[in-house]
Amino acid sequence: MSILVVGTVAFDSIETPFGVAERILGGSASYFALAASYFAPVRIVGVIGRDFPQEYLDLFTQRSIDLEGLKKERGETFHWRGKYHEDINVRDTLELHLNVLSGFVPQLPESYRDAEYVFLGNIDPAMQIEVLNQIRHMRLVVCDTMDHWIRESSKELRAVLKRIEMLVVNDSEARLLSGQNNIVRAARAILKMGPEVVLIKRGEYGVLQFSDSSIFATPAYPLEEVFDPTGAGDSFAGGFLGQLARSGDHSQRGIRRAIAYGSVVASFTVEDFGVKRLTNVSLSDIEERYQGFAQLTDFHT
């Protein structure tokens, strides 16, 4: 079962309390695709500029990620600059250059139109709709968004929410989208907007999952050192949807296991800058940490 992702493929410039990195590979689609590639074949829809280096493309092809839908346009690649505080859960966006992403209209290659698992990464909801319109048959669509789109493109985002099965947001985005301060009420209000499942990411505190019939909570995998949290959310989504595609199990039990896989993959991502750790982990490392995670959260055997 292959997975289609649309999102940013970016240059990231990052400062954390542990160091700095200039113009390294980043973007929501990049983290998602690399994370999901441990579980299922992945296809990327996105855009890069002529300045995008071959060595970054090689990182995708080494993981057998299909790049036919990744367009190279004249101009510069999307560039994001962010800085993390001493409290690593807090980050500021210092610069955001859309570059080739502004005005980009996704065009899916014919071979992508039968995608069954779809991840709508954090981009303009109008682009997310464009992608949905071009897919013939979908089994499961998971969507991410951010405060900017909740504020500026509320109508388009509401239209997206009616067409997806699952939404992944962080707690402040859930509050903003719903207008509810209490996180349980916020999730209930979002469920009424369309998705059957809402996943709320709470950084180092883990993930809450809501559906009409259940609530599930997990911690994040506890690490002694977090070097760079960039991409944790997208890696979580990649591990999560990757596992759902691999297992085909969309039951509550299957979703819970997928949440654990997502958390495990995200925990590898944050251990080093950018995609460094995510590209040199192995599936057996992931499985081993998954078993450890199961023991960590087991209080009832």
Q: Report the catalytic residues.
A: 234
Taking each continuous run of H as one helix and of E as one strand, the counts in the chain are 11, 13
Binder among 5, 12, 99, 186 for ligand AMP (CB under 6 A): 12
Site size for ligand AMP (CB under 6 A): 17
The answer to the question of residue 234 lying near ligand AMP (CB under 6 A) is yes
Alpha carbons 191 and 167: distance in angstroms, whole number = 9
**128 near 142, Cβ under 8 Å?**
no
Q: Which of 90, 94, 96, 223 binds ligand AMP (CB under 6 A)?
A: 96
Other CB atoms within 10 Å distance of the CB of residue 177: 24
Q: Which of residues 29-58 bind ligand AMP (CB under 6 A)?
A: 31
Of the candidate residues 69, 106, 125, 233, the single one contacting ligand AMP (CB under 6 A): 233
The CA distance from 268 to 211, in Å, is 28
Name the minimum Å distance from CB 98 to ligand AMP: 8
Site for ligand AMP in 105-144 (CB under 6 A): 122-123
Residue 142 main-chain phi, psi, to 5 deg: -115, 140
Contact partners, residue 299, CB within 8 Å, separation at least 6: none
As a whole number of angstroms, the distance between CA 275 and CA 261 comes to 17
Rule CB under 6 A: say whether 267 interacts with ligand AMP: no
Q: Which lies closer to ligand AMP via its Cβ, residue 56 or residue 80?
A: 80
CB of 151: closest distance to ligand AMP in angstroms? 12
Question: CA angle, corner 255, sides to 253 and 260, nearest 5?
Answer: 100
Candidates 23-31, 36-44, 161-169, 277-285: pick the segment binding ligand AMP (CB under 6 A).
Answer: 23-31
Question: Which residues in this chain contact ligand AMP in the complex, by CB under 6 A?
Answer: 8, 10, 12, 26-28, 31, 80, 96, 122-123, 148, 230-234
